[in-house]
Amino acid sequence: MKILHIIDNMSMGGANALLVDLAPFQGQKGHKVDILQLIESKDKTLTDKLCNSGVNVISLAKKGSVYNPLLTFKIIPYLRKYDIIHVHLFPALYWAGLARILSFSKTPLVYTEHSTHNKRRANPILFTIDKFIYSNCYKEVIACSDKAFETFKDVFPNMNASTILNGVNISKNVNAIPYSKKELINVGNDVFVVTMIARFASMKRQDTVVEAMSKLPSNFHAVFVGGDDGELDNVKSVVAKLKIKNRIHFLGIRPDVPRILKSSDVVIMASDYEGLSLSSIEGMASGKPFIASNVNGLKEVVGGAGILYENKNSEELANILKKLYDDKAFYLDTINKCQKKAVQFDISVCSSAYLKVYAKYL
């Protein structure tokens, strides 16, 4: 079948990272798979990965705002070229749905709900628009986690919805070749490296990790990988205030995340909420202990495998890191549990489930 994924842009993010694994895997199953981004991403890391995997990435515009409703009309010509349209994120949700209505297209649309938290639902006007779009434009809404499904059905109980857990290419993370710590951040092997992969946004709580570092011995270092979504300067100000600049390393956006995870001693995700965190799955698959804040979208993935701590509690986080450093048996047991749990989220399982959904509407 001919499959088109529509998304705001292919910058770094959870839904975007899902497509980097999902689209090529669907292509390997014999389907024609393209990705349509509303506005071309300035960062080409994920686009290059997709192109190298044989997936065509189309851009509606070189620059501009993804919130421009005129993008609706640019989507219309693509609807009749594909058997199924799979939409990700807002506002692509709106523009693709409206394009289907305005063009009287019969091509089925499905949408993935990538988060457990949606600010639009608290706004009466946007809530009404959401309800109209979901009900009149989309055959099915697929939640990326059980919690995302629960929160969606609480608000839209009559909408046709299901759950397909997000997935990653597990083997890519298991088989990654690590850097030496000197190659990674120019430190010795005696340094205990704690890594977090996430964009710098207020809900990601990199500041909690920085605060935890200040409570630990000087051989504990933190590595942050991700682009700036408005919070980087705030995190750097916390680093300066705590006077631990030499122990905090900002690597920016990197195409070699699996290798960086393999080079770390512990992987962490500190966040106020998630949909279903792909970075968490990659972290658990990397062969390192994984720690996460005990919040929606993380506790469902990490619970029973990695270690959960109270969100924003840097003292508890520091204690967990110290125990992993001191207790080798605890360290190895956590790794074993994480790797077993990660296998449940392999991209092959996710892809097969989506192909079954598509087939229902063809």
Give tens-digit pLDDT for 251-291.
999 989 999 999 999 999 999 988 777 888 899 999 999 99
306 — pLDDT class (breaks 50, 70, 90): very high
* Domains of the chain and any CATH numbers: 2-167+346-360 (3.40.50.2000), 170-345 (3.40.50.2000)
- pLDDT at residue 248 tops 90: yes
Nearest residue to 190 via CA among 198, 199, 180: 180
Q: Cα(193)–Cα(259) distance, rounded to whole angstroms?
A: 13
For residue 319, give both structure tokens. 């204690």
Q: What is the pLDDT of residue 279?
A: 84
Q: What is the pLDDT of residue 115?
A: 85
80 — pLDDT class (breaks 50, 70, 90): very high
Cα separation values, 277 from 198, 228, 355, Å: 10, 18, 22
Residue that has been written with the tokens 């609480």 in this structure = 154
Q: Cα(191)–Cα(222) distance, rounded to whole angstroms?
A: 10
Report the relative pairing of strands 2-7 and 32-39 from DSSP bridges: parallel
Q: What is the pLDDT of residue 12?
A: 78
Q: What is the pLDDT of residue 98?
A: 98
Q: What is the pLDDT of residue 147?
A: 85
Helix (H, G, I), strand (E, B) or coil at 109: strand
Q: What is the pLDDT of residue 82?
A: 97
Q: What is the pLDDT of residue 181?
A: 97
Contact residues for 203 (Cβ-Cβ < 8 A; gap 6+): 271, 272, 273
The answer to pTM > 0.85 is no
Q: Which of 75-89, 269-283, 337-351 has the highest mean pLDDT?
A: 75-89
Q: Cα(309)–Cα(294) distance, rounded to whole angstroms?
A: 6
- pLDDT at residue 334 tops 80: yes
Contact residues for 130 (Cβ-Cβ < 8 A; gap 6+): 120, 121, 156
Nearest residue to 116 via CA among 269, 199, 14, 12: 14
Quickly count: other Cβ atoms within 10 Å of residue 256's Cβ. Answer: 16
Q: 27-45: per-residue pLDDT in tens?
A: 999 999 999 999 999 889 8
Length of the chain: 362
The residue type of 108 is P
Q: 188-246: per-residue pLDDT in tens?
A: 999 999 999 999 998 999 999 999 999 999 999 999 999 998 999 999 999 999 999 99
Q: Which residue intervals of the chain are DSSP H helices? A: 14-28, 45-52, 71-79, 92-103, 124-137, 146-155, 170-174, 181-185, 206-214, 232-242, 257-262, 278-285, 299-302, 314-326, 328-342, 347-360
Q: What is the pLDDT of residue 146?
A: 86
Residue that has been written with the tokens 């990601």 in this structure = 204
102 — pLDDT class (breaks 50, 70, 90): very high
117 — pLDDT class (breaks 50, 70, 90): confident
Cα separation values, 133 from 36, 101, 211, 349, Å: 20, 10, 43, 29
What's the whole-number mean pLDDT along residues 296-317? 93
296 — pLDDT class (breaks 50, 70, 90): confident
What's the whole-number mean pLDDT along residues 90-96? 98
Q: Cα(8)–Cα(114) distance, rounded to whole angstroms?
A: 13
Nearest residue to 97 via CA among 344, 107, 117: 107
Q: What is the pLDDT of residue 293?
A: 97
Average pLDDT score, the chain: 94
For residue 195, give both structure tokens. 């890594």
Q: What is the pLDDT of residue 275?
A: 73
CA 76 from chain centre, in angstroms, equals 28
What's the whole-number mean pLDDT along residues 341-351? 91
